[in-house]
């Protein structure tokens, strides 16, 4: 009796379907890399945003149980992310859950939260796409609206992936653009209120003191140097924002401490030099840059293209501030049906109108 030994060549085994699948996968990967090499000859978007529309319709179309459409949509997302990062797209933003979605049936909302929690935990696994491609994950939106387990999981994912720098995935949960804009305006007003109080303090409370004289035990030019040094440091801290567009606590701590120091010294002495009074020559005014740095999406550049599946062309309160010069693409496929072909067409569409949009941007 002769025992047949499977003939193996490399990773291939002559056990039928296994050989065919491995061979097919390798050929597919090779052809995809060739296709991406050709596409890379032209401009590639830096930032793609996706509205993942059509999960529930896909479930009905395929006669699946409720919730199965979202699971299929997650698999489509993983494949699409892999294609994007292989193509060299550095930023990908997805609209995962709107604040408006909380108005759905409680059992449906809970099912989506459970699925989100499950997938957040999966992102931390060693073999996940996050670790394969060095992706930093940021959850964008009013995270206080999420349940405690989901919020804790989101914060854990952001912390664990914070040192990844090859690419970034921004997941918009508990998000609407109108809420983001209100949040940014509120943050700007709070920041300017501090500046306004400091400006009034300098202009109305303090009198002239000659250079070199002491104010409350401190030489005036030393106070000025300290103020200038710490102002620079404060600006540096302000630029170090978390994933949700909010400054780190170190910045808030620094500003509050400095306000206390300045208020204490000024109120006790009532004296300051002319140079110190002129540190804030202009009244604090909220400018465009102030609003933008308080946006949730301040951690990434504006998207170059927004893709919404299922043929819909509505923005649905998503990235309204950031998409004023963004291309829109609406393939007819439902989100779980989105794949390589839709991504390729999106890139070709982007390349076709890229030069025109570049000229328009330079005119602004």
- CB-CB contact of 154 with 139 (8 Å): yes
Distances (CA, A) of 225 to 206, 272, 320, 339: 18, 13, 42, 58
- CB-CB contact of 297 with 140 (8 Å): yes
**Cα atoms in the 13 Å half-sphere on the side-chain side of 253:** 3
- CB-CB contact of 285 with 191 (8 Å): no
209 Rama sector, left if φ>0, alpha if ψ -120 to 50, beta otherwise: beta
**Could you give the angle at which helices 106-123 and 68-87 cross, rounded to 10 degrees?**
40
- Active-site hit among 53, 114, 259, 290: 53
Q: Is 225 a catalytic residue?
A: no
- CB-CB contact of 299 with 91 (8 Å): no
Return d(Cα 251, Cα 139) in angstroms, integer: 21
Distances (CA, A) of 228 to 126, 158, 217, 224: 46, 33, 19, 6
- CB-CB contact of 134 with 114 (8 Å): no
Query: Tokens 């009244």 appear where?
Result: 283
Residues in the chain: 364
Catalytic residues: 53
């Amino acid at each position: 009796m002769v025992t047949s030994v499977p003939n193996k060549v490399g990773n291939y085994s002559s056990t039928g379907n296994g050989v065919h699948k491995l061979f097919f996968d390798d050929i597919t990967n090779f052809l995809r890399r060739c296709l991406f090499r050709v596409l890379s000859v032209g401009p590639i978007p830096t930032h793609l945003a996706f509205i993942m529309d059509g999960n529930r319709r896909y479930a009905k179309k395929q006669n699946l149980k409720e919730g199965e459409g979202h699971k299929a949509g997650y698999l489509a997302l993983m494949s699409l992310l892999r294609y994007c990062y292989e193509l060299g797209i550095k930023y990908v933003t997805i609209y995962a859950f709107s604040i408006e979605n909380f108005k759905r049936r409680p059992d449906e909302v809970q099912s989506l939260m459970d699925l989100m929690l499950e997938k957040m935990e999966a992102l931390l696994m060693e073999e996940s796409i996050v670790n394969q491609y060095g992706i930093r994950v940021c959850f964008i939106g009013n995270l206080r609206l999420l349940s405690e387990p989901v919020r804790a999981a989101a914060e854990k994912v952001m912390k664990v992936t914070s040192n990844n720098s090859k690419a970034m995935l921004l997941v918009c949960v508990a998000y609407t653009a109108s809420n983001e804009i209100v949040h940014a305006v509120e943050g700007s007003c709070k920041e300017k209120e501090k500046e306004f109080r400091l400006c009034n303090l300098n202009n109305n409370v303090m009198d002239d003191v000659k250079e070199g004289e002491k104010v409350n035990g401190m030489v005036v030019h030393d106070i000025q140097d300290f103020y200038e040094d710490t102002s620079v440091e404060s600006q540096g801290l302000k630029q170090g924002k978390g994933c949700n567009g909010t400054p780190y606590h170190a910045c808030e701590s620094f500003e509050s401490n400095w306000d206390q120091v300045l208020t204490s010294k000024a109120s006790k002495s009532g004296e300051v030099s002319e140079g110190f009074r002129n540190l804030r020559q202009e009244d604090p005014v909220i400018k465009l840059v102030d609003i933008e740095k308080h946006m949730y999406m301040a951690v990434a550049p504006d998207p170059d293209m927004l893709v919404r599946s299922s043929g819909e062309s509505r923005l649905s309160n998503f990235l309204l501030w950031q998409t004023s010069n963004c291309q829109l693409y609406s393939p007819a496929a439902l989100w779980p049906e989105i794949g390589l072909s839709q991504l390729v067409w999106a890139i070709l569409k982007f390349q076709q109108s890229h030069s025109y949009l570049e000229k328009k941007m330079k005119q602004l």
